[in-house]
Structure 1
Amino acid sequence: MQALLTLAPPVAHVRLDGQFTYEAHRAFKEATTPALEDAAISQIEIDFALVSYLDSAALGMLLLLNERAGSKTVRLVNAKGTVRSVLEIANFGKIFEIEYTG
């Protein structure tokens, strides 16, 4: 999986591409850490448009990101298909602001 960070204060946009699994933890952390450390960022948007699969490790990474974000808002956007189903089954709508497509 690839994770591309774009900083456009006050929003940090992280575009994920591929399967979001345990193997992606390094790429995910490298993409999100600068957003967490930037005081000008108040919202971190994780874009799932190009993600075809995520597993329980990915859910854990999202929860950890949310915890580390503190007062910053974490939004999950463009989830569809299987990814959307997994997020819904995990009740992530109670933890994150989620914008679905498709």
Structure 2
Amino acid sequence: MAITSVPTDDGQGLTIVIQGRFDFGAHQEFRDAYERVDITPKRYVVDLQGATYLDSSALGMLLLLRDHAGGESAQISLVNCNPDVRKILAISNFEQLFEIA
């Protein structure tokens, strides 16, 4: 599992890239990706292109990110989801909470 975060040039956004299994083993690394940055982003993008697996703890981590980013007013996009990941997000009704592209 590798999780990296890259701020946008204007400092208003943060892209978090997930590689490999997104499960409880990634909890601290995922939190560090958005809590230990030198900016306060207004927008977040979680790039799931490299995610090979996603479980219920990963869904919980996404909800923690949403709370950190402002809850209802959070601007978070989940992008590059493979069909399996997209299905899990749909079953969990995450399209009600996140922009899924």
Q: Which runs of 5+ in 2 are unaligned?
A: none
Which residue number corresponds to residue 39 of structure 2? 38
Which residue number corresponds to residue 6 of structure 2? 6
Q: 8 Å contact 2:42–2:69 — kept in the other structure?
A: no
Superposed displacement of residue 52, structure 1: 1.0
* SS of equivalent residue, structure 1 residue 79: coil
Q: 8 Å contact 2:47–2:80 — kept in the other structure?
A: yes
Which residue number corresponds to residue 27 of structure 2? 25
Superposed displacement of residue 38, structure 1: 2.3
Q: TM-score, normalised by structure 2?
A: 0.89
Q: Which runs of 5+ in 1 are unaligned?
A: none
Q: RMSD of the alignment, in Å?
A: 1.4
Displaced runs of 4 or more, over 4 A: none
| Letter of the structure 2 residue corresponding to residue 92 of structure 1 | F
What is the identity percentage for the equivalent residue pairs of Structure 1 and Structure 2? 36
Q: 68-77 vs 10-19, which deviates more?
A: 68-77
Hey, what's the Cα distance between the residues in 2 that align with 1:88 and 1:18? 20
Superposed displacement of residue 77, structure 1: 0.6
Q: Between Structure 1 and Structure 2, which shows a larger proportion of strand residues?
A: 1
Q: How does 1:1-102 map to 2 (within 5 A)?
A: 1-8=1-8, 9-34=11-36, 38-39=39-40, 41-70=41-70, 71-99=73-101
